[in-house]
A and B are shown apart, each in its own frame.
Chain A
Amino acid sequence: GENVEQHPSTLSVQEGDSAVIKCTYSDSASNYFPWYKQELGKGPQLIIDIRSNVGEKKDQRIAVTLNKTAKHFSLHITETQPEDSAVYFCAASIGAGGFKTIFGAGTRLFVKA
């Protein structure tokens, strides 16, 4: 079955710097790659996603890149702010949504003011 590895487990950056979180997946059939942000005591929130027919997607300070050949995808946050501090999860899915969505272990991001 699908396996998603996420690195690093913890990331600390200075406010204004960029943060990069990387994930790899094992099943080449995966075609949907969402990223979620989870704040303490809350449920995950979808922040950006990318499908396998696209190599890069950007939404303001957040961007995601996908390399299908290497089976890895990355989240890039530029001009980080303290409110970006949270746990970020990558995920990989084959076709129909949650049933086949496999989550990474999470990255705890600390943005120091």
Chain B
Amino acid sequence: GAVVSQHPSRVICKSGTSVKIECRSLDFQATTMFWYRQFPKQSLMLMATSNEGSKATYEQGVEKDKFLINHASLTLSTLTVTSAHPEDSSFYICSGEGSNEKLFFGSGTQLSVL
């Protein structure tokens, strides 16, 4: 199957700092990538849809100025959590849409904000 690489896998930061998470499709071109947030023992919550070369589409309730998404190429999308606070602590996951509507997920990033 297609491979999506997500980095870093874990990050601990101080409150007020910004954190960037990278998501790369290694062996396919992902015109569309998705960013999810997952709380412990819960399902995936779609945050935003990222399309190469255009602005991301955010789900209702997700602050676009808080969660900056950039999709500058067909293989790279980044999520920047700006001015992070403890309530932003969560597991963030990206996915890329491959052929035939299949989604391939990154390995996730555990963000802990102190």
Contacts and interface: CB of A to CB of B under 8 A. Distances in A.
Contact of B105 (A44, A97, A105): A44
Q: Chain A CB within 10 Å — which of B32, B43, B108, B110 has the most?
A: B43
Contacts of B103: 34, 46, 97-98, 101
Contact of B32 (A41, A44, A93, A97): A97
A95 B97 CA distance: 12
Question: Could you say which interface size class chain A belongs to?
Answer: 20 to 34
Contact of A103 (B44, B101, B102, B108): B44
A63 B38 CA distance: 27
A43 B106 contact: yes
Interface string B64-93: 000000000000000000000000000001
A58 B103 CA distance: 19
B106 A46 contact: no
A88 B95 CA distance: 17
Given A41-B108, A43-B107, A98 B95 contact: yes
A34 B102 CA distance: 8
Contacts of B101: 32, 93, 95-97
Interface of B: 1, 4, 6, 32, 34, 41-44, 46, 49, 57, 93, 95, 97, 101-108, 110
